[in-house]
Amino acid sequence: MKAANANGAETGPTEDFVTVHVDGVLFGLAIERVHDVFVPSGVTPVPLAPPEIVGLLNLRGRVVTALCLRRRLGMAPAAARTEGEATVTDRGMAIGLEQGGETFALIVDGVGEVLKLGADTRESVPINLDARWRDLTTGVHRLEGRLLVILDVDSLLDFGAKDSRGARGAEAA
């Protein structure tokens, strides 16, 4: 998965990203969208919900919809783990995101440092990426030794109702 070469070394202001990882892949989320980082606990699964939704949890008195990044990206379930909802979150971390006045918790495997990155390391999304990923990412940053995939928070949270029927079918299967 090598980035197509378009090394436009533009100068510009830097952006801050909160890095998270799932299955060894490093993802970046715009820091201004991240409201919280916490350890999810006591997740209540929601029957009949779209598969991306892990359940609901209580974040300081607010009911937060927990969303699994792994499932959202269509990645394989974590190794040696069953499909059980609660188990996925046992070891993970959650990123508090907000959209339309609602709070969501994005469940990831772990949270890394905050990176300040300029446009010079930024690449557009490689065209050979899975369509699902292409819809959810806005770019890739070349870091030393690894790549940072920048996720688009709004696209990430843009799911549910419209494809719920299919999703429900998928869950039932």
Partner 1 sequence: MDDLLREFLTESAEHLDTVDTELVRFEQDPNNETILRNIFRLVHTIKGTCGFLGLPRLEALAHAAETLMGRFRDGMPVSSASVTLILATLDRLKAILADLEATGSEPTGADSDLIEALEYMAEHGTGAAPAPAVIVPEIVLPEPVSRELKPGEVTLDDLEAAFLAAPGPDEMDFGSVPALPAPEPVKAEAPKAEAKVEAKAEAKPEVHAPVAAAEGETNHNNKVQTIRVNVDTLEHLMTMVSELVLTRNQLLEIARRHEDSAYKVPLQRLSHVTAELQEGVMKTRMQPIGNAWQKLPRVVRDLSAELGKQIELVMQGAETELDRQVLEVIKDPLTHMVRNSADHGLESTAQRVAAGKPARGSIRLSAFHEGGTITIEIADDGKGLDLAAIRRKAVERSLASQADVDRMTDAQVAKFIFHAGFSTAAAVTSVSGRGVGMDVVKTNIETIGGVIDIATQAGKGTVFTIKIPLTLAIVAALIVRAGEQRFALPQVAVLELVRVGANAQPVEYINGSPVLRLRERLLPIVSLTGLLGAEAAAEATGFVVVAQVGRQRFGILVDEVFHTEEIVVKPMSAKLRHIPLFAGNTILGDGAVVLIVDPNGVANQVAQGAQASAGQAEAEAEAADAAEATTTLLVFKGGGGGFKAVPLSLVTRLEEIEGDKVEWLGGRPLIQYRGRLMPLVPADDGIAIKSEGRQALVVFSDGERAMGLVVDEIVDIVEERLDIEIAADRSDLIGSAVLRGRATDIINIAHFLPMAYDDWARGPRKAQKQASTLLLVDDSAFFRDMLSPVLKAAGFHVVTAGSADEAMATLQADQRISVVVTDLDMPGRSGFDLVGAMRHGGERLAGMPVVGLSGSVGAEAVERARTLAITDLVAKFDRSGLVAALGEIGASAEEAETQNGVARAA
Residue 149 pairs in a beta bridge with 27, 140
Identity of residue 61: G
Q: Is 46 in the site for partner 1 (CB under 8 A)?
A: yes
Question: Applying CB under 8 A, which of residues 32, 102, 130, 135 lies at the interface with partner 1?
Answer: 102
Q: How many H-runs (helices) and E-runs (strands) does the chain carry?
A: 5, 11
CB of 130 to partner 1, least distance (A): 22
CB of 91 to partner 1, least distance (A): 20
Q: Is 62 in the site for partner 1 (CB under 8 A)?
A: yes
Q: What are phi and psi of 20, to 5 degrees?
A: -135, 160
Question: Applying CB under 8 A, which of residues 77, 112, 126, 160 lies at the interface with partner 1?
Answer: 160
CB of 97 to partner 1, least distance (A): 12
- The enclosing H or E element of 71 equals helix 69-72
Kindly tell me which of 51 and 139 has the beta carbon lying closer to partner 1: 51
Q: Which residues contact 52 (CB under 8 A, 6 or more apart)?
A: 67, 68, 71, 72, 159, 160, 167
Binding residues (CB under 8 A) for partner 1: these are 42, 44-50, 53, 55-58, 60-63, 65, 67, 100, 102, 104, 157, 159-161, 164, 171-172
